[in-house]
Amino acid sequence: MSRRVAQRRWPAVRGAMGPVAALAAGLFLVAGTAGTAAAVPAGGAAAVTAGCGSDGEAKQPSAAGAAAARAATAEPPAAAVGTAAEKISYRLPSQLPIGMWSSSGVTLRTPVTKGTVRLDVRSRGFGTDSLSIQRYVPKTHKWTDLKSRSTGSDTHGVFTFPVTAGATAAHPENVALRIQDLDKPGTLTVTASVDDGKGHTYRAPARTSTATRPDVSVTGWRSGGGLHRGGAPSGPFTVTVKNTTDRPYPALYASYSAYGAGTGHALAPKDLVLQQYRPGHGWERVPLVAGGCDPGMSAALLPVARGPLAPGATASYRLRIAVAGSAPRDVSHVEAGATVGNGDLSFFHQDLPFAVR
């Protein structure tokens, strides 16, 4: 399991800090190479330097974390799937938007005594260790993770949970599940089966889904360019997000992060001037915030979409950056980048480095 994926598997950590604070602390440790679009767990980055900020910062819950907590206590609708002839049926939506929970479920039509439901998951384009699958427990009104085990293959995972049900074809029993991909686009196929505890195993038809995410592009940025201390800002560049999935993307955010260090000094927020253009407002300065003990900095861009980004809708962030005259003379290069995500998980990052002259 890669470090990036391992960090994603800590939901408590992901909800502990907001995306901007986390990106400032560790974006460049986990974001990948220039020009790539990779899902970066905001809270995972925070885990790299969790001890750097103040106690108040570390304990500040994010809005996304609160929303996730509300979703975790909401009882899902029960709906039978499959045909009356199937002892076990499994449902899976055709798309799994990355970073969002997608409803799934198992329907049983045969008695099960201390049996086990098993989900064999085979993926293409990403590893199954980046998947989270949970079932809803009516007695506790909570979601709980399914047990998972390694098969020795990054693209084959097994998830199980115990079950006892007096189900029949006339009175099926439903188990609500939800699934989430925290990594890259690709496809997955799930085959559900149940051991009824009496020596019989029944299998459901396999279901295939596509893990997808909004399309993000950065235009107008001059790769390899440079900026002068106290000089004019860069030319405008635009981060464009188009929701190409079949579901609204909630809590959409975009952020900008930067890091620059010389032989004896590092850039501070006062040394860079980030501006964002908004129709009717013109160019507005967006404050950069230092990243705790890390000399990096980041800024949450001003929102450009009201509410969730609907399928087919586009959100554009028009930006420009300048280097203030206060920038240390020994800093000659800045690592910077733009990140887009929803809630506390980012699904796109692109490096935007520049020289300082």
Mean pLDDT confidence for 238-249: 96
Per-residue pLDDT tens digits for 183-236: 889 999 999 999 999 999 999 999 999 999 999 999 999 988 899 999 999 999
- For residues 332-357, b (16+ Cβ closer than 10 Å) or e, as one string? eebbbbbbbbbbbbbbbbbbbbbebe
Averaged pLDDT for residues 144-168: 95
Burial zone of 234 (CB within 10 Å; 0-12 exposed, 13-18 middle, 19+ buried)? buried
Rounded Cα distance between 260 and 46, Å, is 19
What pLDDT is recorded for position 135? Answer: 96
Q: Is the pLDDT of residue 79 over 60?
A: yes
CA distance 182 to 39: 7
Exposure b/e, 181-215, CB count within 10 A at least 16 = b: bbbbbbebebebbbbbeeeeebebeebebbbbbbe
- Alpha carbon 204 to chain centroid distance? 30
Kindly tell me if the per-residue pLDDT of 293 is higher than 90. no
Residue 78: band (very low, low, confident or very high) from pLDDT cuts 50, 70, 90 = low
**% of the chain beyond a pLDDT of 90:** 70
Q: What secondary structure letter does DSSP report for 146?
A: P
User: What is the reported pLDDT for 80?
Assistant: 86
- Low-confidence winner among 10-14, 255-259, 287-291 (lowest mean pLDDT): 10-14
pTM: 0.76
Residue 167 near residue 109, CB atoms below 8 Å? yes
pLDDT category, 346, cuts 50, 70, 90? confident
For residues 219 and 318, give the distance between their C-alpha atoms in angstroms, rounded to a whole number: 10
- Residue 38 pLDDT > 90, yes or no? no
Given this model, what pLDDT does residue 77 score? 61
Give the residue with greater pLDDT, 8 vs 215: 215
On whether the CB atoms of residues 301 and 216 are closer than 8 A, the answer is: no
Give residue 305's pLDDT: 84
Bigger pLDDT: 242 or 19?
Answer: 242
Q: Count Cβ atoms below 10 Å from residue 44 Cβ, excluding itself.
A: 27
159 has a pLDDT exceeding 60: yes
Tokens of 166: 């007096």
Helix (H, G, I), strand (E, B) or coil at 332: coil
Over range 53-61, report the average pLDDT: 35
Q: Is the pLDDT of residue 41 over 50?
A: no
Q: CA 60 from chain center: how many Å?
A: 19
Asked if 262 and 331 touch (Cβ cutoff 8 Å), the reply is yes
Please name the helix (run of DSSP H) or strand (run of DSSP E) that holds residue 47, with its range, or none: helix 42-48
**Would you place residue 292 in the very low, low, confident or very high pLDDT band (cuts 50, 70, 90)?**
low
Residue 295 scores a pLDDT above 80:
yes
